[in-house]
Structure 1
């Protein structure tokens, strides 16, 4: 079939249209025009990020793709591409055109493999497999009606030596958060293993992002040390996304991750957020149990796919 779309490089003026596409295609994620501009123009240089847009014959943005190298992968030359197409534009050829251009970009960067996420919707897996992608691990989106969820009160008093803080309390020294995040993400289950990320790159990815709310991201201290944390990404309106919840190895099994996430959710509700979403690897049993204990239920699923470049 001849494509009815054109693919071109992202421009700042495209940000609102791209955010609209992303929200239509993956309604569980937090995505704003501001965060799109940041991802396209301000990500660490080592990631070699590039965004693409697909337009229909009338000039409307109907699809988008972001592509680059995976920061901190333990295997070299691992690339990624994420493609989104508006459901009302399926069949125009936007997805195929975006994938082809993104793969050409990754090949030029020297990537040996392309990783992507594919919705478990009965349609998208076939699209990926026809293009040579091979299925990996399953993941799921979980949702919570934050406005009405019966979230429990945090323990009162807190256990001896345990304190609750926010990301704002670390504005002058963010290295304790960096060290905790490096340790926690190294143990996160998935097809791509995470290793060392330079501090400056971590700041760009995990502190400078405009959709991370430092006031609503919670930190649990144990005897003065960062033990657990839960990152809040928001759209500034009703939507809340758990960017990452993690606990350092020495403090696991004490319920501190649940405390961090509960604190972030409760304060986010007080700030006016009404819908909460998170994503979990389907085999991450402890985190799935934690989220379900807070009232999350499965909203959708997706598969990790990859192919050699």
Structure 2
């Protein structure tokens, strides 16, 4: 049957989610999440770009591709690409056809750098990117903690001068504007200091509101270490899984520079485990760059075990001499 590549629409998202789930069951996605993500890009005041395609054969969606710009790594000439083909349709020209559509689109837009990723245990996907000129720039590793197979850790102990508070309670105590500004300051500082191959664009106040309104955000899992003056010394995040109610994901864990090296991150991660156990959570997943030695050590102490790495690739490059395009008030 003839293969047809066309622009994707919202009506395609259920089929696209099924394709993505079949291609990588470890990273579940739903039609709702696809729609939320697309709307987030399209509504951004940074003027971010998004374009998506599906490949059809005999009326069946057999592949998906997309290019997008991300607020957290924004430069007007940098794009992130994904091409997904489920195993039952692999090596039948689907990926090649989608790659052609992506390449033509990015060339027309004058893209200077394209990012993509492939799991290390999917050699065909790795070879697909390398064969098109992409080169590896970093590796991120999922770590999993199975709670019922691991003894409960010691309770969280923060340094003197800090107290543990969930973000919703912090907002009540400080007022929404002050609380979210304190959260944003440490959030942006932690992201800026994470090992990464793309400079972190700081989140604006509006983007933090949008970030916390995500349907997978778990408010009681947004845990903060705060000072008596209302400053956020550290934070960790728990997020819901789109498909498995008994699984949670760790988002950002970070400490303000003045409080580093004092056990704040470890105490916060321990507190997050207590929240997860109280919810009846079976597994917690977290992801870290392989060069993030301090956080890898924290996770190892808590019993997290590594999974196959997600390899980050780059085609072209926006060098450090380029001024990063950021947006702030």
* TM-score, normalised by the number of residues in structure 1: 0.87
Tell me the equivalent position of 1:232: 238
Quote the residue 1:184 is aligned against. Answer: 190
> Which residue among 29, 32, 54 is the counterpart of 1:31?
29
Deviation of 1:140 (Å) = 1.4
Shift of residue 17, structure 1, vs aligned partner: 2.8
Shift of 1:145: 1.4
**1:163-182 CA distance string (max 9 Å, x none):** 11223235523222211111
Partner residue in 2 for 1:217: 222
**Deviation of the 1:290 alpha carbon:** 1.0
Range with bigger deviation, 127-136 or 239-248: 239-248
Shift in Å at residue 276 of structure 1?
1.8
1:22 and 1:151 map into 2 onto residues whose CA distance is 35
| Structure 1 position 287 matched with structure 2 position 285 | no
Whole-angstrom CA distance in 1 between matches of 2:190 and 2:223: 15
Which stretch shows the higher mean deviation, 126-135 or 168-177? 168-177
Give the Cα separation in 1 of the matches to 2:235 and 2:63. 34
In structure 1, the residue matched to 2:87 is: 87
Moved over 4 A (4+): none
Q: How many residues align?
A: 304
Q: Rg larger in 1 or in 2?
A: 2
2:202 aligned with 1:196: yes
For 2:10 and 2:268, the matched residues in 1 are separated by 36
Residue segments in structure 2 that go unaligned for 5+ positions in a row: 318-329
Secondary structure of 2:29's counterpart equals coil
2:175 aligned with 1:169, yes or no? no
Q: Distance in 2 between matches of 1:268 and 1:56?
A: 43
C-alpha deviation, 1:30, in angstroms: 5.0
Counterparts in 2 of 1:5 and 1:239: CA distance versus 1, 3 Å = farther
* Equivalent residue number for residue 150 of structure 2: 149
1:107-141 C-alpha deviation (Å, 9 max, x unpaired): 34443110111211232221111111112112212
Q: Of residues 298, 301, 310 in structure 2, which corresponds to 1:302?
A: 310
Is the alpha carbon distance of 1:86 and 1:238 closer, same or farther for their aligned partners in structure 2, counting shifts above 3 Å? farther
Q: Distance in 2 between matches of 1:181 and 1:56?
A: 45
Mapped partners of 1:52, 1:232: distance in 2: 32
- Matching residue of 1:245: 253
1:242 Cα deviation (Å)?
Answer: 1.6
**What is the SS of the residue equivalent to 1:115?**
strand
- More deviation, 82-91/277-286: 82-91
> Residue 325 of structure 2 corresponds to which residue in structure 1?
none
Residue-by-residue CA offset, 1:19-48 (whole Å, 9 max, x unaligned): 333333333335333211101223343322
Asked whether 1:18 is paired with 2:16, we answer: yes
Q: Deviations over 1:249-270 (max 9, x none)?
A: 1111111112222222321232
Q: Is the 8 A contact 1:28 1:277 kept in 2?
A: no
Which whole-Å CA distance do the structure 2 matches of 1:98 and 1:264 have between them? 41
In the alignment, structure 1 segments of 5+ residues that lack a partner are none
Mapping of residues 24-63 of structure 1, within 5 Å: 24-43=22-41, 44-45=43-44, 46-59=47-60, 61-63=61-63
Larger helix fraction of residues = 2
